[in-house]
Structure 1
Amino acid sequence: MKLRLSRETLAEAVSWAAHALPARSAVPALAGLLLTAVQDGAGAGSLAVAGFDYEVSARFLAEAEVDEPGSALVPGRLLADLARALPGGGHEVELVAAGSELTLRCGPVQFELPLVPVEDYPHLPALPPVLGSVDGGLFAEAVAQVAVVAGRDETLPFLTGIRLEFSPRTLRLVSTDRYRLAVRDIPWTPAAEAAGAEPEKPQEPVDPVVALVPARALHEIARSLAKGERIAVSAAPDDSAPGGGLIGFSAGGQEATTRLLGADFIRYQAVFPTAYAGSAVIERQPLLEAVRRIALVADRHRPVRLAFTAGRVTVDAGAGGEARGRQTLDAVFPATAEPITLAANAGYLVDGLSALPGEEVELHYTTPTRPAVLTVAGDDGYRYLFMPLRSA
């Protein structure tokens, strides 16, 4: 294998593929990045850099000047470190694999890296069939908003995932840790519609295509994909079919796949109240700062309280014999409404208020012990539900 490409392109390709390198692995080959140089009939060349850990794969396809096609398996972390450290100044990078070594040259710098036998590397999964596409920046924002509540308990796999529901017009993302629930709806374009077919008009509601994706992997993929492009989403949710139980994402030269979680999600729609007793509108940033500030005097096992009265909300924490704090903010809360106090985990409030994008938030409530929901004022495209606590 022998090829040349720009230093910047190599660094970008290696950085992307390194997302799939395992932190530790009993299989030495998985610690490597697979480099594959090809040349088509017209003489155009390309380099594919890929990483895989049996759960997540990442592949970057870049243009390259290929003299000798071939493959090489190179120590991944080392190559990533070297790619970042190569000298600038417009130098090209030359990669030459011969015998048991890969020679990397960039201007006055040269490295020799040991090669791992390519035949030891597992077969990389192919992208499943394309379902449709979504705006990259909007998708990354939505994933971040719901990933904040995903659980960490590996003994309950569904808590560690983000549920994706692909309906004819809407992509819904849902996650929960049992104490909180986040739902975000964003527009997307099905593949058939993008190809020019008339949108289907079913007489009866059609069940959405559903995929439960590991939250940590999806968050990393979404934030790393090119934000200025549309992301093609590929999925084979049925793990009984060839290539099933897999979802893929691609944009530009970047591709990634991850295995789906084989677990049933909760009936989350039933968790939301069917009706609210009332709501209050508050400026988001001042409320976020107040919760952070007042939480400093609260024991981690005690809640922060939000007390709503006509035209205001008081954030307070602490009790007799302890440190106490309070701050009062303006709020749109009717004088005719019954005052109410909600006690909540301060971290949960901070997470929800941080995830909301608007200048004003609306807190919807029923009773002090039933679920409350935060949204952007006048917009329920993102709903953050949390369980109030018993006030101390």
Structure 2
Amino acid sequence: MKLRISREALAEAVSWAAHALPARSTVPALTGLLLTAGQDGGGGTLAVSGFDFEMSARFLAGAEVAEPGEALVPGRLLADLARALPGGGHDVELAASGADLSLRCGPVQFELPLVPVEDYPRLPALPPVLGSVDGALFAEAVAQVAVVAGRDETLPFLTGIRLEFTRDTLRLVATDRYRLAVRDIAWEPGAGPQPATGAGSGRAEEPVVALLPARSLHEIARSLTKGEQITISASGDDTGLGTGTGAGGTGGTGGTGGGLVGFAAGGREATTRLLGADFIRYQSIFPSSYVGSAVIERQPLLDAVKRMALVTDRHRPVRLAFEAGHVSVDAGTGGEARGRQALTAGFPADVEPITLAANAGYLVDGLSALACDEVELHYTTPTRPAVLTARGRDEYRYLFMPLRTG
């Protein structure tokens, strides 16, 4: 393998592929990045790939390829070197010979030991295309629901984000049992497996569903692109992708968990495996109706909650006491530090006052995830689920369980 590539293109390709490098692995080959040089009519390409059996990342960049071939090099080392190469318009020359890869950039030269390429597992190919979505919108939606995803690996469904694809909407859902976040965004279906409409059968539309690791999906979404369409690919029913039993169903993400969902934009590609777990019937958790709601400016409320959290533990309650025209945010009890702040709120004078106690960290997460000037807090009773949305909109819903006090 012998090629020339711009310093910037190499740094970008290596940085992207390094997302799939495992933090640690008992398989030495997985700590490497696979470099694949190929020739075509336009001059050639360099593909840089990383893989850890759960997630793969691949970047395809243009290069002047003199000799096609493959080389497996220590991934973290190559990533560090690619960032540290000198500027000044120098190109990078890569050449594999014997047991080493020579890397030359202007006055700098390194020799990297090669890892046996035959030890590297076969990279998964992108599954059939399901559709596409705006990259910036998708990244925002993933971040909004990932904030509630759990980290308890003994309950896999809590560590995932459920994707539901219907004819015109992509829904993302996550929960940690104490909170639930749902975000709906527009997407463009492609020619892959599509939702059943139930036309003529009286059945509700059933979404195509997939449960993906939240950590991997968040990393992919925020790094993939901010200004392009993302193409979403998915494996068929026989490997884990399925249809839900309605929007609140467990979906088809049980079984082996061997299916894949892939994402691509520009020269970047990534895949992640489905979680072999069923999701909860989350729709039944949302109240069928609300007793009332209050409208508050988001940033002042977020600032007040953060201030009150300073006098109590992040995981202890902050109380929101609503009365006509205002809300009092307070924390702490007798014998310890206490704080209180009053804010203007849209709360009708003819409605009975209500106090909700909530985990301070949960309120901070929910208010931070909402991208709006005013939030609306929907409630039923002080001990039943409450829901935060943007005022007058429900494309993002953040449900949390109030805490019992006294």
TM tier, shorter chain? over 0.9
Q: What residue in structure 1 maps to residue 15 of structure 2?
A: 15
Partners of 2:47 and 2:313 in 1: how far apart?
52
| Partner of residue 298, structure 1 | 312
Cross-structure match for 2:364: 350
Q: What is residue 4 of structure 1 aligned with on the other side?
A: 4
TM-score using structure 2 length:
0.93
Q: What residue in structure 2 maps to residue 32 of structure 1? A: 32
TM-score of the pair, normalised by structure 1: 0.96
- Out of 307, 319, 340, the position equivalent to 2:333 is 319
Shift in CA distance, 81/252, structure 1 to aligned 2, threshold 3 Å: same
Q: C-alpha offsets along residues 339-376 of structure 1, whole Å, 9 cap, x if unaligned?
A: 00000000000000000000000000000000000000
User: Is the 2:38–2:69 Cα contact (8 Å) retained in structure 1?
Assistant: yes
Are the structure 2 counterparts of residues 275 and 127 from structure 1 closer, same or farther at C-alpha, using a change threshold of 3 Å?
A: same
1:29 partner letter: A
**Please, which of 368, 373, 392 is the counterpart of residue 378 of structure 1?**
392
Match of 2:355 in 1: 341
Q: Contact (CA 8 Å) 2:212, 2:272: kept in 1 or not?
A: yes
Query: Any idea what SS the aligned residue of 1:380 has?
Result: coil
Q: What is the DSSP-based 3-state SS (H/G/I as helix, E as strand, rest coil) of the residue aligned with 1:15?
A: helix
1:210-359 matches, cutoff 5 A: 210-236=209-235, 238-240=237-239, 245-300=259-314, 302-359=316-373
1:90 aligns to 2:89 (yes or no): yes
State the 1:271 CA deviation. 0.2
Aligned length: 387
Asked whether the equivalents of residues 297 and 375 of structure 2 are also in contact (C-alpha less than 8 Å), the reply is: yes
Measure how far apart 1:90 and its partner are: 0.6
Q: Shift of the alpha carbon at 1:274?
A: 0.1
Q: Deviations over 1:294-353 (max 9, x none)?
A: 111124553100000000000001112221110000000000111000000000000000
Residues 190 and 300 (structure 1 numbering): CA distance in 2 closer, same or farther, change over 3 Å? closer
The one-letter code of the counterpart of 1:75 is P
Secondary structure of the corresponding residue to residue 237 of structure 2: coil
Q: Which amino acid aligns with 2:86?
A: P
Q: Distance in 2 between matches of 1:277 and 1:255?
A: 47
Note if contact 2:240-2:274 (Cα within 8 Å) is conserved in structure 1. no
Q: Mark the CA change 1:241 to 1:306 in structure 2 (over 3 Å): closer, same or farther.
A: closer
Question: 1:363 corresponds to which residue?
Answer: 377
The CA deviation string for residues 169-215 of structure 1, in whole angstroms up to 9 with x for no partner, is: 0000000000000000000000149xxxxx98944533111000000
Distance 2:30 2:216 in 1: 17
Map of 1:102 onto structure 2: 101
CA distance in 2, matches of 1:205, 1:305: 40
CA distance in 2, matches of 1:78, 1:122: 20
The answer to whether the 8 Å contact 2:162/2:211 transfers is yes
Task: Rate the CA distance shift 1:14–1:299 in 2: closer, same or farther, 3 A.
Answer: closer
Cα distance between partner residues in 2 of 1:16 and 1:162: 22
**2:245 aligns to what?**
none
2:47 corresponds in structure 1 to 48
Task: Provide the residue aligned with 1:114 in structure 2.
Answer: 113
In the other structure, the counterpart of 2:204 is 205
Rounded Cα–Cα distance in structure 1 between residues aligned with 2:280 and 2:322:
32
Q: Give the Cα–Cα distance (whole angstroms) in 1 for the partners of residues 278 and 198 of structure 2.
A: 29
Deviation at 1:238, TM superposition (A): 3.0
Equivalent position SS for 2:63: strand
C-alpha offsets along residues 218-267 of structure 1, whole Å, 9 cap, x if unaligned?
A: 00000001111000000115354899511100000000001100100000
Question: Larger deviation: 292-301 or 305-314?
Answer: 292-301
Contact 1:282 1:362 in 2 (8 A): yes
1:119-198 residue pairs with structure 2 within 5 A? 119-192=118-191
The residue type paired with residue 290 of structure 2 is: Y
Residues 159 and 69 (structure 1), Cα distance of their counterparts in 2 relative to 1, 3 Å cut: same
> Per-residue displacement from partner, 1:94-122 (whole Å, max 9, x unpaired)?
00011111000100100000001110000
Q: Which AA in structure 2 matches 1:304?
A: V
Match in the other structure for 1:196: none
- Asked if structure 2 preserves the Cα contact closer than 8 Å seen for 1:236 and 1:244, the reply is no
- Give the 3-state SS of the residue equivalent to 2:77 in structure 1: helix
Counterpart contact for 1:305–1:391, Cα < 8 Å: no
- Measure the CA separation in 2 of the matches of 1:76 and 1:59: 13
Corresponding residue for 2:253? none
Contact 2:197–2:204 (CA under 8 A) maintained in structure 1: no
